[in-house]
Structure 1
Amino acid sequence: MTDHHGLHSEHGARKREHPGRAKNPIIKVHDLAWLEFQKPDLWRAERFAHAFGFATTIRTAEALHLRGTDAGAPCVIVRKGARSRFLGPAFHAADVADLHRLAEATGQKVTALPESLGGAQVLLRDPSGARVSVVSDPRRFPALPEQAPHTFNFGHELARTNATQRPPREPAQVRRLGHVVVQSTKYVETLDWYLTHLGLIVSDFLYYQGQRERGPALSFIRCDRGATPADHHTLAIALGPSNRYVHSAYQVADIDAMAAGGQFLRDEGYRHSWGIGRHLQGSQLFDYWRDPDGFLVEHFSDGDMFDNTLEPGWAPMSASGLAQWGPPISKDFLGLAPGREPWRQLRSVISALRDDNEFTVERLRGLLKVASS
């Protein structure tokens, strides 16, 4: 097993702990393709999206497609509906043959995507009930002019002379979709489903303090591209009292783009959640915002990239341990800010404890310790 000391975690797995990958996955997806949401007001959604840094590719009365500057498919698809909700993620298959392999193994069909997207898909449901699409050969848009990263003078190494730094206060241009985080009452079952069906592999496990013997409660999961490095996590799954979207993250050029773009969002009256800081697992520079429908979205930059040789790290979970530096974690980020969310969370806890799932009283105690740490 790989020695984790001095790498991405202090410790690796102990004997008989979760290996973090399936022995014989059905396929290995290449990347996260896009996320799908439903919202009642597409004009309001588009206005925030432009302030956050997206560009529009399609805008109709029924749908909104948003992209970054990188070449490829849209990052986000918003469908008009009576209420706001997360519909699910789409993942890129390596090729169309993988779609047929996945369809045969799951008893599903390969179907054509809408003409606006192109390509084909296999539509599945994970154990938490989320709709998961695996797609091949969707329409690719050419790259857009991108926001250039700044040139920095580090110590005595001068890369910029007779030139100033003047980052404009404007939207931080989104380059691409990075990852999505979800919560599940069936954490291990859902984790194993993604490892087996999509060939994802775990970068880091977190466990509730004092409960390592009960198994992990959060996993950061990446694509297995062999020797080609992939984002530290494309998907993260957390144990919790409800099956829900937590947040999604979108890459921007650098910390200046993030900070100036954040100031632009503030000037436009949007709600800041937490940041700027640097995460521990994944190392990303981060800044979190709420869109008008309450969805948590993240600007990130400078994240870790791992190939498939690195085994999972294991570490205790704490609220303060989510960042190496930055402001104290906010109540808004934890879902504890005044408003409807804490009451919704309380109802979810009561409901989850009544049902037969992985969220037990002991796990609730572990989660409360995390929130208070």
Structure 2
Amino acid sequence: MSTLHDLHSEHPSRRGEHPGRARNPLIKVADIAWLEFEKPDLTLTEAFARAFGFQVALRTPHELHLRGTDPGGPCVILRRAPRSRFVGTAFRAHDETDVLRLAAKAGAPTRALPESIGGLSVDLVDPSGIPVHVVAGVDRLPALPQQASQVFNIGSERTRVNATQRPPRVPARIQRLGHVVLQSTTYRATLDWYLEHLGMIVSDFLYLPGQRDRGPTMSFIRCDRGTTPTDHHTLALALGPGNRYVHSAYQVTDLDALAAGGEYLAERGYRRSWGIGRHIQGSQLFDYWRDPDGFLVEHFADGDLFDNTVEPGWAPFAASGLSQWGPPVSKDFLGVDPKSARAEAISILSALRQRNEFDVRRLIGLLKVPTS
């Protein structure tokens, strides 16, 4: 086991627990590429997106592509449709050879992506029923000017002299898509699918209070890029009563950009879900917001970077364990807000009637999380 293990977790894995990686994955993806949504009102969507800090890469009457300042493809692809829904996730392969290899081994066809994006895709579906595209050769958008970071005086390090600190209250300029969080009724099968098909590896496992013996119910999963450090998690997966999108996260420059950008959003009537704070798993500075259709999105900065030598950490899944500092976790973020109670109750009853991993004992453990 790696000597780096204890850098991020006080609780190492035990003999016989999930190793957090596949022995012989089909391929190893390089990164997350983009997320796809359908929305009825792209004008309303674009207004929020610009206030949140996205740049528009493509706008037609029926499609909207949002990007960050980093070079590469879009972060989010939105298409006009009668109702709002999350459509799926795209991951970037190292090259088209990996796309062809995955297609052959998974028994799935490949297709050329639209001219507006370019490249090749193999289209899969994970065990939760969520579409997963693995892409390569996508047209590379040029880099855009980034938001300038602040110059800090830290302790005895005095780097700012005869100058003031005046971060502008403007949208926090998005740099890139960092991760997506999904919920699954078939958590273990879905976790293993991502590890085996996409070669991803687990950074941290969470288990429900008093249920470590039954295995984890949430995992923070990163790309395996060998000795090249990558984000602590590109995908997070949690057991729950639905197969659905939970939130997505977009990197900004620093705390000032995140905080001033939040003030800009609040002044325009947008709703903060939870923040500002710093997470434990991943260490990111965070600030969560609801878009006009109710989807949860996150600004983040200063996240952990791991190479492939770091083994999984283990911790109980508890509301108090979601941040190192910041306001108490909100009911809206946890999904226990009274406004969503009826829909969540229907989701729970439906899940309990089906054959999956979400059983009564798991439900009891999950109900303990908000007060733990």
In the superposition, the TM-score normalised over structure 1's length comes to 0.99
Partner of 1:14: 14
Q: Note if contact 2:54-2:67 (Cα within 8 Å) is conserved in structure 1.
A: yes
1:111-140 deviations in whole A, cap 9, x for unaligned? 100000000000000000000000001011
Specify every segment of 5 or more residues in structure 2 that has no aligned partner in the other structure, as ranges: none
Moved over 4 A (4+): 3-6
How many residue pairs get aligned? The number is 372
Shift of 1:318: 0.1
Other-structure match for 1:361 = 360
Q: Distance in 2 between the 1:125 and 1:243 partners? A: 12
Structure 2 counterpart of 1:111, which letter?
A: R
Q: Write the distance in 2 (CA, Å) between the matches of 1:3 and 1:270.
A: 45
Q: Encode CA deviations 1:179-230: one digit per residue, 9 max, x unaligned.
A: 0000000000000000000000000000011100000000000000000000
Preserved contact between residue 4 and residue 10 of structure 1 (Cα < 8 Å): no
Structure 2 counterpart of 1:150 = 150
- C-alpha distance 308-5 of structure 1, shift in aligned 2 (>3 A): closer
- Distance (Å, rounded) in 2 between the aligned partners of 1:65 and 1:51: 15
Q: Helix, strand or coil: the match of 2:37?
A: strand
Say whether 1:249 aligns with 2:249. Answer: yes
Q: Secondary structure at the match of 2:101?
A: helix
Q: Specify the alignment match of 2:350 in structure 1.
A: 351
**Offset of residue 304 of structure 1:** 0.1
1:47-126 paired onto structure 2 within 5 Å: 47-126=47-126
In structure 2, C-alpha distance between the alignment counterparts of 1:326 and 1:371, rounded to whole Å: 16
Q: Which residue of 2 aligns with 1:188?
A: 188
SS at match of 1:300: strand
**Contact between 1:184 and 1:239, CA under 8 Å: does it hold in 2?**
yes
Whether contact under 8 Å (1:4, 1:313) holds in the other structure is no
CA RMSD of aligned residues (A): 0.8
Aligned to 1:320: 320
Identity percentage of aligned residues: 67
Query: Is the CA contact (8 Å cut-off) linking 2:5 and 2:313 kept in structure 1?
Result: no
Distance 1:336 1:138 in 2: 39
SS in 1 for 2:7: coil
What is the CA distance between 1:372 and its match in structure 2? 1.7
Inter-partner Cα distance in structure 2 for 1:349 and 1:38: 25
TM-score (norm 2): 0.99
**What SS class does the counterpart of residue 11 from structure 2 fall into?**
coil
Distance, in Å, in 2 between the alignment partners of 1:3 and 1:106 is 35
Residue 314 of structure 1 deviates from its aligned partner by 0.7
Distance 2:19 2:148 in 1: 40
CA deviation string 1:240-284 (max 9, x = no partner): 001110000000000000000000000010000000000000000
Q: 1:218, 1:238 within 8 Å by CA — same for their partners in 2?
A: yes
**1:276 equivalent in structure 2:** 276
Contact 1:127 1:186 in 2 (8 A): yes
Q: Give the superposition deviation at 1:337.
A: 2.1
> 1:50-88: CA deviations, max 9, x gaps?
000000011111110000000110000001111111111
Contact (CA 8 Å) 1:31, 1:234: kept in 2 or not?
yes
What is the one-letter code of the residue matched to 1:302?
D
Distance of 1:344 and 1:8 partners within structure 2: 36
Distance 1:205 1:4, change over 3 A: farther
Query: Residue 254 of structure 1 aligns to which amino acid in structure 2?
Result: D
